[in-house]
Structure formats: C-alpha cells, structure tokens
Structure 1
Amino acid sequence: MRDPALAPPAVPPLTGGLADSLFETAARTPALPMLARRRAPSSARWDEVTAVEFRDQVVAVAKGLIASGISPGDRVAILARTRYEWTVFSYALWTVGAEVVPVYPTSSRDQVEWILRDAGCVGVLVEDEQSVMTVGSVCASLPALRHVWQLDAGALDTLAERGAFLPFATVDSMRRIVLPDSTAVVAYTSGTSGRALGCALSHRGLAGPCDTLLAGWGHTVAPPGEQGAVLAFLPFSHVYGLMIQSLCVRGGLLMAHEPAMTGEALSSALCSFRPTYLYAVPSVLEKIYKNFLRAAQQAGRGALFERAAGTARDFAAALERRRLGRGPGPGLDLRLQHALYERTVYRRLRDALGGRVGRATSGGSPLSRELSLFYEGIGVYVHDGYGLTETSGGLTMQPWGREKSGTVGQVLPGMEIRVADDGEILVRGPSLFQGYIGDEAATRGVMRGGWLATGDLGHLDDENYLAITGRKKDIIITSGGKSVAPAALEQRLRMHPLIHQAVVVGDNRPCVGALITLDPEYLAHWRAALALPGDAPAREAREENALGEEIARAVAAANSAVSRSESIRVFRVLPDPFDVAGGLLTPSMKLRRDEIVRTYSLEIDAMYEARSHRRPERPPSREPAGWEDSDNVFLR
C-alpha cells in the first residue's frame, strides 16, 4: 500500500469551473506573471502577462463569444498549434460555460469533418488560411457550424471589439453558474484503430489530478522562493497538453508557448525562456539524448560523453537503491567520477535545456529505465507518469523521495488501480470521463462494474509501483503460439542513435520481425564520420554493409533483454519514416500499427520469404529443425 507519510495533502473539492482559478488569482495577486509571449516569432525576448492582464483578455474574448451567440453547453473547436491565443480562447470558452473541442492542426480533411460533425460544433477557431479552406471544404456537411474564426486574421481582437458593449457583470455571472460536473472538454482519442471517439471530460475531472499534483509535487517545479516556469510545446489537442495548461494556471506558474515542434525551435525556446521544469514525451527525451551524443561526437568527444553517460546511469542507480532502502548510495570512486563529469559534461547538458531545469515529467508512453537514469544522473530527474484521455490525464506519479525508475510510480490519491488476470490495467475514481459522446455502446464496452478497462497491460510490484508493458491489442502471437509484447523491444531499439522508429511485427508468422526507420540527422553524421575510401560505388557498398552491421548490433542489443523465442530474427530498414501525413502515425505521434502492417505488407512478406530460404549452419540437435530454434538472421 502507499506510505501515508508520502501521500500529498488532501485538496479542497472543486466548487466551480476551470476558469475560476484564473479569476481568483487575478483578484489575489494581480501582478503575478502568468504567461510569457514572444515579441516576434523568432525573438529571444519574452514579455510577461500578469494575472490581471490575462483575466482581462479572457473577459474581453468571452464578451465577444456571448455577443456571437455562444451559450453554455455549446461546443466550439480549436484547430491550432500550441500558442498563446489557444490558452486565452479556451479560458474564455470555459468562462461562459461552453465546451472546448480540441482538434490536432495536422488532422486530415476527413478527420476535421468527422470531429466537427460528431461533436456538433457551433464554431471553430482556426490558425491560418489553410485551415479556413479545410473547414470551408466540409461546411456543407456541418449544419450546426455558425462561426469560423481565424487567429492569424485577428480573431481575438475582432471578438473583443464585438463584445465591448457588454458589462463585466454579464461575463462574471455566466462564469459563476458553471458547475464542477459540467463538461469542459470533448477530447477525441487518437484513433489508432477505427473512428476517433469523443471523450467528455468534466471541469472536476480535469482539475482533480492537477490539484493533487500541485499539492504533492508543486514544490519540485522550482527552487524555494522562485516562481516555476514551464514551456508548453506539446499539443493542447492532447489531454497531456491540456493538463500542462491547467497545472500552470491553477498553480500560478509562468507558462510560455512554443508552437513549432522542430528540434531547432524547441532548443531556441528552451535557451531563451529558461524553464524550471520540463514536460515532455519519451520521443522528445530520446531525441534530446541523441542530439547530446551527436554534438559530442562532432566535437570529437563522443567517447567522453559515453563514459559520462555511463557514470550518470550508475550514479542514479546507486541513489535509487539508497532512497529505496536497498543500498548505501554511490561509493567514493563513483562520487569522484560524477563530480568530474559534473564540471565537464553534465552542466553543459543542462545549459542546453536552459540551465534551470531540475526536474521533468514524461507521459504519453513509458520512458525506458536507462533513459530515466541518464537524466537523473545529469541532474534532471524525470518523473514518469501514466494517464489516459479517459482518465482526464494524470493517474500515477512517482512518490516524492521514493522514486523508482522503470515504473510510472503509484496511483494518485482518490484514484484506484488494479490489474486483471490477463494483465489489463483497470482504473476507477472521480477523474474518469463522462462517456463517449453519442456512443453509449462504446462507453459500456470499456466500463466493467465502475472500472475503466484501459487496454494497457502492466503489473504492480510489491510496493504498488505500476509498470506498463504494452497495449493489449498490440500483443503479437507468432504461428508457434508465442505471445510477444512489442513495446519493450521497440523502446530498446529506439535507444540506438541511428534508429528513429521501430515497429515489431510477427502475427501468425514463424518468428518476430521489425520494420525500422533511421534518424536522418544522425545518419548524415554517421556517414560523415565513417569516411570510407575508394570510388563512389565501392564506397557506397561498404557503407551499406557497415550500416547493416550497425543496425544488426542494435537489434542484438534489444534482443538481449528478452528470451530467444521473443527475439527479433529478421528486420528491414525502410527508406522513409512513418508520419502523420501518410496516415501511419496518430496526431499524438503514436504508431498506427495496423495501417503500417497493411502499407508495408509486401516488404514484410519479402522479409520473411528471404529468411525462409536461408539455411544457417548450426550444431546438431536432437530437437526438430524449426523457426524458433534457428540462428538469428538479419535482412535489410
């Protein structure tokens, strides 16, 4: 059971809506900086927006919404990247009791049409002219849609002008009638299979996990006496991004926005804004690690970085054993090595994150233990948490002072978790969604006597730490009857700097295989460092052979963590990465496995066909020859 001494204090129950916390902060500490805006898209200067200024902008937009006929319970979509106006507009909607319907800006025309029609949206806020054209092309099938506002055309200013005649009291009276159990957000699931479903999330459901996290972990966001600062760059279209926004506003943290998800844009924003706390997903943390490694290799310090990374992991593992009561902590030699690398390596790595980040949170999918230990070892502990759209976000967190890498922590107070006999994680509590809108059958399909069947697989250890092992529907069953969870293998493959994405396949096949895409930036660096002699054709052939050998080593390293029957026997490197535009990733960057298998069915068939024609030499055995006992053979 959870140690009561480690549990965060109880939080007062919510009495109104999400917008109330903004109005309360503005009344209590009007000069508190709450938002930061770039002076220009590429500027390194950020202007702070105080609580009272933020509230006044929200009120001005809320007046415009009222004047436009937006009423409590109306659904309004936001089709835009993570930017300042997203926050202002969403809080204006919540102020008047309307419901926010987030839409990924990368969504296709069909996806936009489906969400706007399924939710019955009366309005949509878009970012640019391209989005206006997308919405315009489907308007004929959206009889409820009355308003299309464009941010880049000054939509918020136009709304403010339209409602300028209304008194503040009109807005305030509408805010005060919003109830905690009113729907605040209709968040559409990623749709890894089938149509996306709209999850109705209440004000109470969204606020609860945020308030619990602030009560128990708010002191970790910044050093004592400093205001926490958070850079929001994850999509607000995802419940994790919405959590970040609510945490910042409810906790009085300074929040800045970075709409571009490119490495260059994120690096620039981190260095100029200098957050104290980092929120990310594993793919971002993996990319940052690979960028560290590539930069060190380009500077001729690759070996130094790898030694420093190993020391960081060893140091963090020793710290973990001590805080869990399983060891004395780092020994003298390890402390000396760590202190040396702190001066020469770790401090520079933290500077690349802005120089003030001391802790971070990872969500969306499990973070590998190796990566978690690396970040803790360089001085940035990463809390790996777990949650779903249907749970309004956060469900678990690492207990303060008892963190355990490789797990997603323990369940938050007020929520319950149990693991079914088949390994599926079941949850219940006040943060559960209100149901899938317009689809009672789908809602009943995931509810089991008050428990939500998450579709995720995992296990609880003897201290009630939860470890996620994969998705139930992703389990691969080979033709020999072996069940394989692909997530762990894919995670280990992605740790190799050359590998960008990996999809493990093998359903009804004789053995496990993998489709692999390469990181283009690191591949260019790797090729430049290889510098093979000879004419172009010969050099290219040797380069391809070297690349095959390098990927084969990565596969072998991943296989070292699983049994022989679960190991990857064949693989193929694909020429192009999986992306959202091609329909192979969800907007939240998760793999669409079924679609990937369909798209690359010919390559998968060829991979196994080539493998079946190989007859590797092996020592005599009394066992009959077969796929499960043959030597590893890799195909590129």
Structure 2
Amino acid sequence: MTMVKEYTTPLKRPIDKDKNIFWLLEDRVSRTPDQTIIEYRDENGAWAGFTATEFRDLVIGIAKGFIAKGLMPGDSVGILAHTSWQWTAIDMALVSIGCVTVPIYETDSPAQIKSICSDSTISYIFAEDDEQRDKVDSIMDEAPTLKGVLVIQLGAIDAMVELGRGVSDEEFEERKNATHGDMLATIVYTSGSTGTPKGIELTHANFMYCIDAGYQTLPEVTYDPGNRLVLFLPLAHVFARYMQFLCIGGNCVMALTSNMKTILKDFADFKPTYILSVPRIFEKVYNAATQRVGSGFKGKVFARAARAACEWSVTTQDGRRPSLAARAKHTLYSKLVYRQILDVFGGDTKCAISGGAPLSHKLAHFFNGCGLPLFEGYGMTETCAPCAVNTFDAFRIGTIGRPFTGMSFAIADDGELLIKSPSVCRGYHNHPEITKEQIVDGWLHTGDLGSIDDDGFIRLTGRKKDLIITAGGKNVSPDKLESLIVTSPIIDHCLMVGDRKPFVAAIVALDLEGVNAWLKDQGGEPCADLEEASKSQLVRAEVDRVINAANDNVSRAESIRKFEIVPDVWTVDNGLLTPSLKTRRAVITKHYKDLIDNVIYVPRKKA
C-alpha cells in the first residue's frame, strides 16, 4: 500500500487513554456537582432531570445491582430500547465495572437479535417494553447464553438498584479501578459490505481518546459552559453514543428524547445551543418552510431569501466581502425569513453538526446564509464515530472538514481514504481475518474514496463498495435482500437504490419464462413479452409479496419501501452484468437515472 497524501492534526495536549469511561461522570461531579446534566420529559410531558451527583449515584446503584447479579468483567449485556435517560444510565453502569454494552436497534427483527446474541454471547438484555421483550422471548431457545430479559418500563432499573443495596462501596470501587483503557467497552454491530452484521470492538481507550480529541477540536461546542444539546438519534448508533459520553464529560446539559413527533417542540422548549443530526432533519425543516409559505407572495419572498442566503454563503466561503446590495438584502431577509427558520431550532442555536450521510451543498449554503453554520463531519463505527469535522475557524462547505486533533488521514494510491488514530477499533468481533484486512499497519481502510487538500480539508468522492447510505444516515447493505428476492422464479435480477434518498427502493427485472410458468399455475394467460409482464397487475402483486417477505428479515429502515419493474433484460453484452453475472451497480443506477429520480423518488412539485 502506497499513500499519495497524508495529513495529521497535532494534539494540543496529551490524552490519557487508560481511564475508564465512568471517569467522565466522576470528573463532571467534581467540577459541577449540583448542575443539571441530563433532562427528559416525564410521564406528564414536563421537563425533569438529574444533577451530576444524582446521576452518578444512580449509575453506581445500578452497577452494584449488576455485581449482585453476578455479572463479571467482559460479560456482555444488550440494550434494546429507544434513546432515553435509562439507556444512558444502564450503559454507564455496565462500562463502570468492566462489562460490555451491546446496543441493539429497537427496529431490529428477532432474527437480527438472535444473531447478535449468539455472536457476542449476551447474558441479559434490557428491553424497553413488552413489545421488545416479546421479540427477545421468541428467540430465547436459540440463544444459549441469554439468561433473561429485563423490561425497562416495568421497573428494571429500580429492581437493579434494590438488588445492589447489599454490595459495598468498596466492592464497586474495586471493580471500577480494575477497569482500564485496554478493556472492551462495547460491541457495536454494523452492516458490512457482505450484508452480514459485524461486531466492532471498541475499548475504553478508543472512546476516551476520541472524546478528548473532540474537546480539543470543538471546545466551543463541547466544553464552553452553558451549552445545551437535544440528543434524539438512536443510542444504538455509535455517533449518538459518543455524543452522550462527550456531553457527560464536558460542560453540556443534554436532553434525551426519541419522540420525533415532538422534536420541534423540544427544540423550542429546551433551546439547544447546537444541533446534532443527520441531513434528513435539515431537509425536513427546509421542506416544511417551503410548504408553509406556499406559492403566493410569501412563497416568492422565501424563494428570493433562499437564493440570497446561498449567495451570501458562497461569497463569504470564498473569503470575499458581500456587496452593499447583498448586505442590505441579507439584513432585510434576516428579519423577514431567516429569524423564523432559526427559531424552529429554539432560537439560541450557534451551529449544527451533520453526519451519518452526505450533506447537500445547497442545504449547507442555505443554513449558513441564514446564520446557522452547518458543519459536516465524518466518522465510522470503527473510529468511535467522529474523526473529521468542520469547525468555526476551519469551515469549508463541500468538505468533511479536517481530522480531529491527534488523528491522521491519508489517501492510498487507489484513492481510498485511510485513517490512523488511537480511536480506531480493536477489531471485528470473531473475525480476525477481516481485522487483518481492514486495519493494516494501524491504518483503517474506510472503503470511501476521497481527496485531501494542502490545508487538510477532506472531500469524499465516492465509495469503493456498494453500501447504501440513506438521507437518514442508515447504512444499508443491499446484498442480503437482493439475494433473497432473486430466489423467486419470476424475478431475474433486483437492484436496491436509495443512496442519499429518504428510503430504500428497488429496480426489478423479470424472468419471462418464470413469469409465464407462474401465471399458468395461477390459471392466468401468458405474457407475450417483458413489456406486457411488467404491466401485469398479477405479476406486480407477486413481486410485492416477494419483497414484503424479504423485508421481514431486516429492520424497517433497511427494508424496500417502493419498487419499479423494468421491461428489460440485463446481460453481459449490454454492460449491466459482469462476466460472472453480477449486477454492475453503478452502471445500472446510471442507466435508470431518470426512473430513479423522477418515478421512484417523485420530485416535490413546486407550489
């Protein structure tokens, strides 16, 4: 492997990687013992919270319960629940005594839960409610290491605290002090290029390095007093998990919620100083504003204001001073339009950080022109999430920013983006061969293609592999569903699409011989050609059934929401298949670009 470009952001101060993650909470208590650090809506919808001291005491109480229950260092415990203060408390309690947290998405199917339980030898699962418990119960007999399910909504935390009352402070301290940086903190499962979820092993040292690097990279967001964040991303995702730890150890008040129906009200009430999200949220805010103003006079004013915001952002990003006329327009639209846009986020937001999926340049320029810098960042589960980001003093739209302090990025001779950092994972659980292939001489091979300019700003240009990243930031590997769908005799090929789109869809090519054989079995008339077959309601209903059956094997975010049948044959000769008869994803996507852009993802009509 030859590297053609490398860039390192130097550390501002040394980082101690041997600390237990629980140290973040202890340090916060030592600095701001009576300051509220976590808030949430209670059963009546009112805001409640924990001070640093209250939350530490609760975490220790839960940890003592785990000790009493017999959990030992290295034992794995799953959490199957939405984002909540309970999720955070259970997580902190587990890592404080050397146990391993295994996040499970609340949307995961029983088959996915079984796979994770077996691979990481989970002993207990904290399930949010009866619905989640039922999923676990359905696979209990197939998960030999799983001893039981504890239901959060049925008092699991109180039960743990009660169980641990007989455990002494000295016993807890002994377990805590025996937990060091090189110990495993969590196994996070992510879809790999093959479609099979793989567990990423992240240690205390991985997180502690990444967290301190975050403080050094964006101190205005992470460590300045008075910062507030509404965390609504799933804590099963490593990005949200990282932010949870970052807020606890910094000087931030963190509101935890998973109710997207009330998120705008939460913004208005809580008044966050910065926003952390995937691009889809910013797209929804922009689209909602466009719809609200309509096509009349207000619509025309908004359209002009949007253009002015983008022009302002482009000008200032180029380092130029806006003209007198541009400054006058910007002042006018700030009062008429921009202020209302920013008020959606609560009115006190200084910046927004976007990650998890590529961000539209137009969207970034719009919000930046409105007065809300939209900092795009980059990270992987393998790096504890963030490892590059734009900042207040180093901001270039169209890039993912510079490396975090103490981290290095490089471009290999084939254009692949590589990362070296103490935050890079220990490896892939039970897959030493993948670890050896993906982490070479300390450099993590990301699978992304990119470039680095002389100032250290990184641009992504594509991906070496076929992982789909939706607009909501969900990583979807298409292989599993595609392989299931093409087992149908009437389907010749299936290709999933959805990169940077709001949902996953599919393009289906039929097997005419198989279609006619199936139609005969159904008592129907045969189709003369693929054109006729693609329009048959009977055939479409069968394709729909096949896709729905395949969807049962994955979470909703990974499922195919829409499909189109094309009346074409995909062959090696027409370039849509490789010589080994695999689909050429990039070629097919380009070939059906009009179908994808204008039929599957119908453009929003202008009012």
User: Smaller-chain TM-score range?
Assistant: 0.7 to 0.9
Contact 1:16 1:177 in 2 (8 A): no
User: Structure 1 residues 145 and 424 mapped into 2: Cα distance closer, same or farther (>3 Å)?
Assistant: same
Q: Deviations over 1:416-461 (max 9, x none)?
A: 2111222211112211111111111121221233321111111112
- Runs of 5+ consecutive residues of structure 2 not aligned to the other structure: 483-494, 504-542, 575-587, 600-607
Contact 2:217 2:405 in 1 (8 A): no
Match status 1:244 vs 2:243: yes
Whole-angstrom CA distance in 2 between matches of 1:60 and 1:90: 13
Secondary structure at the residue paired with 1:464?
A: coil
Of 260, 264, 273 in structure 2, the residue corresponding to residue 276 of structure 1 is: 273
Secondary structure at the residue paired with 1:431?
A: coil
Secondary structure at the residue paired with 2:294?
A: helix
User: Structure 1 residues 311 and 50 mapped into 2: Cα distance closer, same or farther (>3 Å)?
Assistant: same
The alignment-based identity, stated in percent, is: 29
User: Structure 1 residues 434 and 49 mapped into 2: Cα distance closer, same or farther (>3 Å)?
Assistant: same
Of 4, 22, 26 in structure 2, the residue corresponding to residue 23 of structure 1 is: 26
Contact 1:240 1:393 in 2 (8 A): yes
Q: Structure 1 residue 513: deviation in Å?
A: 12
Q: What residue number does 1:465 align with?
A: 457
Contact 2:109 2:553 in 1 (8 A): no
Whole-angstrom CA distance in 2 between matches of 1:583 and 1:88: 33
Whole-angstrom CA distance in 2 between matches of 1:580 and 1:55: 46
Contact 1:375 1:382 in 2 (8 A): yes
Q: What residue number does 1:10 align with?
A: 13
Secondary structure at the residue paired with 2:202?
A: strand
Q: What residue number does 2:565 align with?
A: 603
Of 304, 309, 313 in structure 2, the residue corresponding to residue 307 of structure 1 is: 304
Contact 1:20 1:175 in 2 (8 A): no
Contact 2:27 2:249 in 1 (8 A): no
Q: Deviations over 1:584-619 (max 9, x none)?
A: 997695x68xx79xx94x61445999xx9xxxxxxx
- Matches for 1:123-202 after TM superposition, within 5 Å: 123-191=124-192, 193-202=194-203
Q: Which amino acid aligns with 1:603?
A: I
Q: Structure 1 residue 300: deviation in Å?
A: 5.8
Q: What residue number does 2:364 align with?
A: 372
User: Structure 1 residues 364 and 607 mapped into 2: Cα distance closer, same or farther (>3 Å)?
Assistant: farther
Q: Deviations over 1:131-153 (max 9, x none)?
A: 11111111112221123110110
Whole-angstrom CA distance in 2 between matches of 1:40 and 1:580: 36
Whole-angstrom CA distance in 2 between matches of 1:3 and 1:339: 39
User: Structure 1 residues 176 and 444 mapped into 2: Cα distance closer, same or farther (>3 Å)?
Assistant: same
User: Structure 1 residues 588 and 631 mapped into 2: Cα distance closer, same or farther (>3 Å)?
Assistant: closer
When normalised by structure 1's length, the TM-score is: 0.74
Whole-angstrom CA distance in 1 between matches of 2:340 and 2:194: 43
Of 435, 442, 449 in structure 1, the residue corresponding to residue 441 of structure 2 is: 449
Q: Structure 1 residue 391: deviation in Å?
A: 1.1
Tell me how many residue pairs correspond in the alignment: 519
Q: Structure 1 residue 112: deviation in Å?
A: 0.4
Q: Structure 1 residue 57: deviation in Å?
A: 0.6
User: Structure 1 residues 36 and 422 mapped into 2: Cα distance closer, same or farther (>3 Å)?
Assistant: same
Secondary structure at the residue paired with 2:218?
A: helix
Q: What residue number does 2:253 align with?
A: 254
User: Structure 1 residues 334 and 221 mapped into 2: Cα distance closer, same or farther (>3 Å)?
Assistant: farther
Of 306, 313, 317 in structure 1, the residue corresponding to residue 314 of structure 2 is: 317
Secondary structure at the residue paired with 1:76?
A: strand
Whole-angstrom CA distance in 2 between matches of 1:584 and 1:359: 39
Q: Deviations over 1:31-58 (max 9, x none)?
A: 02110121326x2x31231000000110
Deviates more, 1:192-201 or 1:246-255: 192-201
Whole-angstrom CA distance in 1 between matches of 2:163 and 2:231: 30
Q: Which amino acid aligns with 2:229?
A: V
Whole-angstrom CA distance in 1 between matches of 2:570 and 2:55: 59
Secondary structure at the residue paired with 1:357?
A: coil
Q: Deviations over 1:557-603 (max 9, x none)?
A: xxxxxxxxxxxxxxxxxx99xx99974997695x68xx79xx94x61
Deviates more, 1:76-85 or 1:390-399: 390-399
Greater percentage in strand: 2
Q: Which amino acid aligns with 1:427?
A: I
Q: Deviations over 1:192-235 (max 9, x none)?
A: 6421000000111112122112123121469x7x5111111001
Q: Which amino acid aligns with 1:428?
A: K
Whole-angstrom CA distance in 1 between matches of 2:570 and 2:283: 30
Deviates more, 1:186-195 or 1:249-258: 186-195
User: Structure 1 residues 632 and 189 mapped into 2: Cα distance closer, same or farther (>3 Å)?
Assistant: closer
Secondary structure at the residue paired with 1:348?
A: helix
- Matches for 1:493-512 after TM superposition, within 5 Å: none
Secondary structure at the residue paired with 2:386?
A: strand
Whole-angstrom CA distance in 2 between matches of 1:359 and 1:580: 41
Match status 1:117 vs 2:118: yes
Match status 1:353 vs 2:345: yes
Whole-angstrom CA distance in 1 between matches of 2:500 and 2:361: 23
Contact 2:112 2:554 in 1 (8 A): no
RMSD: 3.6
User: Structure 1 residues 167 and 202 mapped into 2: Cα distance closer, same or farther (>3 Å)?
Assistant: same
Contact 2:78 2:125 in 1 (8 A): yes
- Matches for 1:575-590 after TM superposition, within 5 Å: 583=551, 589=557
Q: Deviations over 1:287-321 (max 9, x none)?
A: 22111211222886222112111111111122212
Q: What residue number does 1:563 align with?
A: none
Q: What residue number does 2:399 align with?
A: 407
Q: Deviations over 1:496-543 (max 9, x none)?
A: xxxxx9x9x9xxxxxx997899989xxxxxxxxxxxxxxxxxxxxxxx
Q: What residue number does 1:340 align with?
A: 332
- Matches for 1:82-101 after TM superposition, within 5 Å: 82-101=83-102
Contact 1:7 1:399 in 2 (8 A): no
User: Structure 1 residues 146 and 632 mapped into 2: Cα distance closer, same or farther (>3 Å)?
Assistant: closer
Q: What residue number does 2:507 align with?
A: none
Whole-angstrom CA distance in 2 between matches of 1:53 and 1:190: 37
Of 285, 290, 294 in structure 2, the residue corresponding to residue 288 of structure 1 is: 285
Contact 1:11 1:212 in 2 (8 A): no
Whole-angstrom CA distance in 2 between matches of 1:141 and 1:213: 41
Contact 1:238 1:588 in 2 (8 A): no
Match status 1:80 vs 2:81: yes
User: Structure 1 residues 451 and 52 mapped into 2: Cα distance closer, same or farther (>3 Å)?
Assistant: same
Whole-angstrom CA distance in 2 between matches of 1:101 and 1:388: 17
Secondary structure at the residue paired with 1:72?
A: coil
Secondary structure at the residue paired with 2:122?
A: coil
Secondary structure at the residue paired with 1:102?
A: strand
Whole-angstrom CA distance in 1 between matches of 2:556 and 2:112: 14
Whole-angstrom CA distance in 2 between matches of 1:285 and 1:115: 32
When normalised by structure 2's length, the TM-score is: 0.78
Q: Which amino acid aligns with 2:200?
A: C
- Where relative contact order (Cα < 8 A, 6+ residues apart) is larger, the structure is 2
User: Structure 1 residues 425 and 55 mapped into 2: Cα distance closer, same or farther (>3 Å)?
Assistant: same
Whole-angstrom CA distance in 1 between matches of 2:170 and 2:68: 14
Whole-angstrom CA distance in 2 between matches of 1:253 and 1:233: 15
User: Structure 1 residues 221 and 289 mapped into 2: Cα distance closer, same or farther (>3 Å)?
Assistant: farther
User: Structure 1 residues 402 and 29 mapped into 2: Cα distance closer, same or farther (>3 Å)?
Assistant: closer
Q: Which amino acid aligns with 1:462?
A: D
Q: What residue number does 1:34 align with?
A: 37
